[in-house]
Each structure stands twice: as structure tokens, then as C-alpha cells.
């Protein structure tokens, strides 16, 4: 990705952050997920009075993309007020589809806090490759 592409993705994440529904935590998050097709899927966190039913911005973007047929991802920009990193659940969902995705985390002003592959913040991940079982003849 070029620097211009990164800045455009960051701008979209910042815009998505404004759509956040976060009346309980007050912590608005926006995400812009770049698919291999070149299409960008936006997500924001959506809270619920039954807290466990809330969904993060990153997972919102992934769910939207997958529901529209996209399953390969190049990069994701995540915008929060203070540059907070994606939670464990979001890291795991991103890992399912793109373990090497380019992760860009910015604060509310668009300043980069982290820009690295997902593997940097999710080392030793569990993913689809771990579910490949040996043949019955290889089991002891």
C-alpha cells in the first residue's frame, strides 16, 4: 500500500468512528477494511444495553465484507480516541481470514499508533491450519 492509500483508509476509519453507537462506554471506534478486490468495508462499534450483545467496529466490518462475498483482506485501519488496539475477539476474527493483514491503528486525530502485520499483535495464533487433522493412520 502506498502512503496515499494508507491515509485514505485512515480517513475512512475516522469517518466510520462518527457513526459509532456507544452510549454506554462513550468509546467510539471506526474501522475501514480493505478487501483484495479493492473495495473498502466500514464498521463501527455498536453497543447494546445487554453488554454481551455489543459488537466491535473491526468485527462489524468483517461481517459486512464476508456477507457480501469478500473473504480476502489486505489492510484494516482502526480509529479510536486514544489509539487503543483491537480486542482479542477482533484479532481472532481478523486472523481467520487474513493472518498477515496490514493493521493500522490511529488515534482520534489520525496519528498512527501502530502499523504492522496482525501477527505482531497476535503471535502464536490459533487458526484454520490448526484444525487440519492427521489421517487416521497417523494417530497414535
**Of 15, 47, 53, 58, which residue is the catalytic one?**
58
Q: Do residues 65 and 111 lie in contact, with contact meaning Cβ atoms separated by under 8 Å?
A: no
| Residue 28 CB partners (closer than 8 Å, separation 6+) | 17, 18, 20, 22, 44, 45, 80, 81
Identify whether 58 is a catalytic site residue.
yes
CA distance 83 to 104: 10
C-alpha cell recorded at residue 139: 494417530
Q: Which residues are catalytic?
A: 58
Amino acid at each position: 500500500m502506498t502512503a496515499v492509500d494508507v491515509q485514505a483508509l485512515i480517513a475512512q476509519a475516522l469517518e466510520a468512528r462518527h457513526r459509532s453507537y456507544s452510549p454506554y462506554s462513550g468509546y467510539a471506534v471506526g474501522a475501514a477494511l480493505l478487501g483484495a478486490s479493492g473495495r473498502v468495508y466500514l464498521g463501527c462499534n455498536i453497543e447494546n444495553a445487554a453488554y454481551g450483545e455489543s459488537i466491535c467496529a473491526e468485527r462489524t466490518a468483517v461481517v459486512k465484507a464476508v456477507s457480501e462475498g469478500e473473504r480476502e483482506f489486505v489492510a484494516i485501519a482502526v480509529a479510536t480516541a486514544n489509539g487503543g488496539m483491537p480486542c482479542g475477539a477482533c484479532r481472532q476474527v481478523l486472523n481467520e481470514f487474513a493472518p498477515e493483514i496490514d493493521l493500522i491503528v490511529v488515534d482520534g486525530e489520525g496519528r498512527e499508533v501502530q502499523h504492522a502485520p496482525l501477527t505482531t499483535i497476535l503471535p502464536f495464533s490459533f487458526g484454520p491450519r490448526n484444525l487440519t487433522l492427521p489421517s487416521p493412520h497417523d494417530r497414535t
